[in-house]
Amino acid sequence: MKQVTLFAIALLLTVSTLKAQPRWTAQQANDWYKKQGWIRGCNFQPSTAINQLEMFQAASFDRQTLDKELGWAEQLGFNAMRVYLHHILWTTDPEGFKKRLDEYLAISSKHGIKTIFVFFDDCWNDEYHPGKQPAPKTGVHNSGWVRDPGTMIHNHPDSLAMLEKYVKDVMTTFKNDNRILLWDLYNEPGNSSYFEKSFPLLKAVFAWAKDVNPSQPISAGVWSWGNKYKELNKFQEENSDVITYHHYGYVDKHKELINELRRYGRPMICTEYMARRNGSLFQTIMPMLKQENIGAINWGFVAGKTNTIYAWGTPMPDGKEPELWFHDIYRTDGTAFSQDEIKTIKSLTGKK
């Protein structure tokens, strides 16, 4: 109780000092969306990085792989990538981190790709540290991915001020950068059984972003629809300039969710989909999203250290390539899991 109270007080003191800008009107959001063309791409992690830290730390920032793999994305006709950040990249090396973000954006824009940057995340491992990252666990999905900030914020609410400086510094640096498509403020808030514990940080990051008032829209995607997420979802939907969401299920259920979210009259981007074992396939979901004029950002691109060809909760201790990949499109040699999928994607992006 004491920790929650301290966090609430810290949040109140932080947010009360802001002169937040209002949410974009639906007209503003729709006008912005019309200028983008149909948004399509993936959640991007280079094959040589196990997590957000290995992707952007100086010692492991792999320019060559970024250029090569984003070139493959360009060949597919992708025009947007969703990329995760982490606050300790900033606390350990703020200027170097921002310089590498700029380098990444230069590489991606060379290939005609805009970026959706993600700040916070409630998924996977709770412990993290700068420096050398662990090797992947054989056959285990996303074994090295890390939360941000994770349980730390509940145990150390005084960290809120540091997180505010981080978010504002990064956003202010790139607030007018047209290489950035959208700011995704918080991935899957409430996951890892945090539920309402994530609410204070969710509210705070929206307030910080609105205070910066970037030229790009802000959002935080809805992803789970149980009663424990009802208030979180309501806040996300009512404060996002553009509605973003995740759906890994069959096309019929996906359409039902779209119909529910249309009540906001705002453009929509599906920022996570495509899990073959779950029936969320390129051949069914991507054409539907294009027809509905909804952005399509699947999970995974090149099979690598994240091990996302393996399914959630179904490790393969022998590390063999599964017959049915869960996520991802290409192997590291550039060969595809499925040529039929490549044909589908290129037909939809005009690259056939």
Residue type, 94: P
pLDDT tens for the chain, 352 residues long, are 444 444 554 455 445 444 568 999 999 999 999 999 999 999 999 999 999 999 999 999 999 999 999 999 999 999 999 999 999 999 999 999 999 999 999 999 999 999 999 999 999 999 999 999 999 999 999 999 999 999 999 999 999 999 999 999 999 999 999 999 999 999 999 999 999 999 999 999 999 999 999 999 999 999 999 999 999 999 999 999 999 999 999 999 999 999 999 999 999 999 999 999 999 999 999 999 999 999 999 999 999 999 999 999 999 999 999 999 999 999 999 999 999 999 999 999 999 7
Q: Show the CA angle centred on residue 85, arms to residues 80 and 87, nearest 5°.
A: 160
- CA 273 to each of CA 41, 244, 246, 322: distance values in angstroms, whole numbers, following the listed order: 11, 12, 6, 19
What's the pLDDT score for residue 175? Answer: 98
Positive or negative torsion for Cα 50, 56, 59, 61: positive
User: Rounded to an integer, what distance in angstroms lies between the CA atom of residue 299 and that of residue 244?
Assistant: 14
Residues whose CB falls within 8 Å of the CB of residue 31, separated by 6 or more in sequence, listed in order: none
Q: Show the tokens assigned to 37.
A: 């063309």
Q: Show the tokens assigned to 108.
A: 């991606």
Q: Show the tokens assigned to 272.
A: 């996570």
- CA 344 to each of CA 19, 285, 325: distance values in angstroms, whole numbers, following the listed order: 47, 11, 17
What's the pLDDT score for residue 9? Answer: 47
User: Rounded to an integer, what distance in angstroms lies between the CA atom of residue 133 and that of residue 110?
Assistant: 29
What's the pLDDT score for residue 16? Answer: 45
What's the pLDDT score for residue 11? Answer: 55
What's the pLDDT score for residue 8? Answer: 55
User: Rounded to an integer, what distance in angstroms lies between the CA atom of residue 298 and that of residue 171?
Assistant: 25
What's the pLDDT score for residue 352? Answer: 75
